[in-house]
Amino acid sequence: IKPVTLQMKKLPQTYKFTNEDMQTINDPDTKVEHVSAIEAEDSDLDDYKLEENDTVLLCCRSGDLGSVDVVVFNPKGDLFFRNSVQLPFLPLSVEPFQFSPLTTEATGQFMAVTGFSTEIELYDLNVIDQVQPDYVIAQSRYMKQKPIPHADSHREAVLGCSWFAAHPNILATIGIDGLCKFWDFASLNLITGLKCHEGGCNNIQFVGEQQFYTTGIEDQQIKMWDFKQSTAEPIQTIKIGRNIEQVVYQDQNFVVSTEDGWLVYVINGEIKVQKQVFDNQPITALACVNNLIVCGSPENTFLKAFLDGEEVFSVEIGRIFSCVFGFQTSMMMLFVGQDFNKMRAINVCKLLSHDQIVQIFGEEGLKVVDIVDQEVNLEGEADEDV
C-alpha cells in the first residue's frame, strides 16, 4: 500500500490503443473519464472529488487478475473505494510520482506499477476507468503474437520500484535478475544499470538527496548506495543472516522483517536487537513511525506493535499482507491490507496508553477521535489479497 495526494488536470480527448498489427492508434470512441470532466451537476461528483486533506492509498491486489485500487480516507473518518485500474499482470509494487512523462515538468500525479512482467506501466491517477496504461517503460514488441522483451528491460519480473523525489524525473527498479535500473521519465529511456546482488533483489528505496538502499533475496544483505558515485560499490553492506521480507528506514537506522517471523533492528550499521514475532511465518506487513513498529503476517491473524523493542499491543484482526501509516490533522491511522479483498483503517492511538502516546509524540500527543476500526471491501473476487 502506498499513500499519495492527488491534484486535478485536463482530460485527454482520446485514448491510445495498440491494434492486432501492433500499430498505435487513437480511438475517438474510447474517451476516458477524468475527474475534472465530471459535470458539476452530476450526482456522482462527490464519489470522485478529492479534498486537500484526503489520504489517498494505492493498493496492489492479486487474484485471478491483478489491479491497483485507489482508496480514500478523509478527515471525517470515511474510508471508501474510488476506482480501480485493471492490469495485464499481477502487481508486485506501486510507486506514486509527480512528473509528467515525455516532458520536463515535475507536475501531475501518476503511478508506476511493476510485477510479473518486464514492463513498467505508468498511469495518470486523475483518470478513472483506465483501460490501458498512459505510458510503458521498456515496452515489449511482439512477433507472431509472442512478446520479445525490450533490450534495456529486466530479464525477469520487476519486484520493486522507487521514485527519486530529489531528482523527480528518475525512477529506479529492481528485479529477480539482481539488477537495479534507473529510468528517465522525460524520455522513458534507460539511464544506467547496476548489478546490486547475487540473486534477486526485493526492496529498493531512495533516502535523502542521493542515497538509496537495496536488499537481496539470496544473499540476505542490505546495501546502501550513493547515486552520484561513479563506482558500482556500495557505501555500506549489512549482513542480516535471514531471508529479508520488508525494510523500513528511519534516521539512518533499519528495521527488517524476515521470512521466518523475526524483526531485526540495525542501528548505526550494526545489528542490535533480534526479536521473534511469529513462529516461522513471514512478516510481509511492516510500518514504522518514530519508535513505534507495527507488523503482521499473511499466515497469522494478529496485528502486533512494539515500542522501543517491547510489545505494546496485539490485536486479532485476520490475516495481514501489508500496512502503512497515514496522518490526518487530528489522528494517526494505520491502513492494513488483508485477504478476502478487504482493507482496514485503524486508529492506533486507541490501542495505546496515554504514556505510550506521550513517549511517541510528546506531551501534546495526537487528538484521539472516535474511529477505532473501519473497513472497506474492494471490487473483485472475495479471495483476493491486498
Answer left, alpha or beta for residue 108, where phi above 0 means left and psi between -120 and 50 means alpha.
left
Q: Is the pLDDT of residue 37 over 90?
A: no
* Chain region(s) in the chain for CATH 2.40.128.630: 1-195
Reported pTM: 0.82
Residue 146: Cβ-neighbour burial (10 angstroms; 0-12, 13-18, 19+): exposed
- Calculate the CA 372 to chain-centre distance: 24
**For 55, how many CA atoms within 13 A lie in the half-sphere containing its CB?**
25
Classify domain 1-195 at the CATH topology level.
Lipocalin (2.40.128)
Residues with Cβ within 8 Å of 348's Cβ and at least 6 positions away in sequence, in order, are: 292, 294, 305, 325, 332, 333, 334
Give 210's pLDDT tier (boundaries 50, 70, 90).
confident
Give 82's pLDDT tier (boundaries 50, 70, 90).
confident
* Chain region(s) in the chain for CATH 2.40.10.480: 284-386
Quote the CA–CA distance of 136 and 184 in Å, as a whole number: 12
How does DSSP assign 96-113, residue by residue? EE---TTSS---S-EEEE
Quote the CA–CA distance of 51 and 167 in Å, as a whole number: 27
Q: Are 137 and 152 in contact (CB under 8 A)?
A: no
What CATH number was assigned to the domain covering residues 284-386? 2.40.10.480
Nearest to 69 by CA among 20, 9, 113: 113
pLDDT digits (tens, 9 = 90+) for 308-340: 889 999 999 999 999 999 876 566 789 999 988
Tell me how crowded residue 332 is: count the other CB atoms within 10 A of its CB: 23
Degrees to nearest 5, angle at CA 64 with 60 and 67: 25
pLDDT digits (tens, 9 = 90+) for 128-173: 877 889 999 999 888 877 888 889 999 999 999 999 999 999 999 9
Cα→Cα distances 239→207, 242, 244, 249, Å: 20, 9, 10, 16
Q: Is the pLDDT of residue 42 over 70?
A: no
Q: Which segment, 18-27, 125-134, 205-214, is predicted with the most confidence on average?
A: 205-214
Quote the CA–CA distance of 216 and 230 in Å, as a whole number: 21
